[in-house]
Amino acid sequence: MLPHSSTDVSGTLYIVATPIGNLDDLSKRAKETLEKASYIAAEDTRHTKKLLNFFNVEARLFSLHDHNEKDRAQYIAKLLDDGEDVALVSDAGTPLISDPGYHVVSHLRDLGYKVSPIPGPSAIITALCASGLPTDKFFFQGFLPAKSKSRKDVMQTWKQQTGTTIFYESTHRINDSIADLMAVFEDDVELVLARELTKTFETFLKGKPSYILQRFEEDSNQMRGEFVVMVDYRPQEDESDNDQEARRILEILLTELPVKQASQLAAKITGLKKNFLYQIALDMKP
């Protein structure tokens, strides 16, 4: 297909975010876009039909999923050439985020068609902002491999990253995935599991892997629903790396304070362990 001219009068492909649970989260702009679109490309037309019926929206639906996406890209291009607007939606949340749509958007962008996002709910951001974990830097892994060994191999790579790692998990594999995290990291990570986001039984479960597994054992209801799993891994600093700075601080404090108080205050300043600093202070004391 030849590149599309930006001067052509053609339709627009809208990428429309839909609710992840609570239907009231559909924005006014998203609703208006669905109403005016001539066609809606849906991951599951049956699921999307329920959403459209709830909001009394009528539109011609067609499926767009992993197995037909490349063919649908050609079909959507033809619709746009005919001046029709097309809305792309997934079953929930923002399309293309672990959902179909990449090939369509990439293809149409390369050909010069207009693609416009209609932002809204996203499970990743919804979970992260309420997790209590660091939000300044994060990495989204999507869905992990189905087999335990492959999952563990992926998890091992997270030790080289900084920031919060996020992945999606199903109710059928959540216990196994947390067990694999325990095998890889032991209890050196802080986890937050968010499930049933924006729904009646929305739950955030926070703790070490061993605690999460214990909660699963005590209450199987904690394993129900679709999960966003967030992992906070912070490698322990080698205390010897800070030995020189700790000694400098202790040298000043020991001129005015006894060993115990000096080491306690140095611990507050450096963040290092009191026992570690106490032993250094003992060695430094004449």
The domain total for the chain is 3
**H or E element in which residue 87 lies:** strand 86-89
d(CA 136, CA 125): 12
Residue pair 143/154 in contact (Cβ under 8 Å)? The answer is: no
pLDDT at 240: 56
Paired strand residues for 16: 118
Residue 85 lies inside a defined structural domain of this protein: yes
According to the model, what pLDDT value does residue 276 have? 79
Greater model confidence, 280 or 153: 153
Please check whether residues 48 and 107 belong to one and the same domain: yes
pLDDT at residue 48 greater than cutoff 70: yes
Q: Which domain holds residue 196?
A: 124-233
Of 168-172, 241-245, 278-282, least confident by mean pLDDT is: 241-245
Query: Is 7 a domain residue?
Result: no
Report how far residue 73's alpha carbon sits from residue 94's, in angstroms, rounded to the nearest whole number: 19
Does residue 149 lie in a domain region? yes
Average pLDDT, the chain: 92
* C-alpha–C-alpha distance, residues 20 and 36, integer Å: 22
- Does residue 1 lie within any of the structural domains? no
Q: How confident is the model at residue 241 (pLDDT cuts 50, 70, 90)?
A: low
Per-residue buried b or exposed e for 10-47, using 16+ beta carbons within 10 Å of the residue's own CB: bbbbbbbbbbbbeeebbbeebbebbeebebbbbbeeee
Q: Within this chain, do residues 49 and 104 fall inside the same structural domain, yes or no?
A: yes
User: Going edge to edge, which strands form the sheet with 164-169?
Assistant: 138-143, 164-169, 227-233, 189-195, 203-207
pLDDT at residue 277 in the model: 87
Residue % of the chain over a pLDDT of 70: 94
One-letter identity of residue 130: A
**No. of helices (H) and no. of strands (E), the chain:** 11, 10
Distance of CA 57 to the CA centre of its chain: 30
* pLDDT surpasses 80 at 286: no
Average pLDDT on 114-129 reads 98
The pLDDT assigned to 27 comes to 97
Give a yes or no: residue 117 inside a domain. yes
Same domain, 180 and 256: no
pLDDT at 162: 85
Query: What does the alpha-carbon distance between residue 198 and residue 123 come to, in Å, rounded to a whole number?
Result: 9
What are the tokens at 260? 């115990």
- Domain co-membership, 117 together with 131: no
For residues 220 and 151, membership in a common domain is answered with yes
The CA angle 149-91-176, to the nearest 5 degrees, is 20
Task: Tell me, rounded to whole angstroms, the distance of Cα 11 from its chain centroid.
Answer: 32
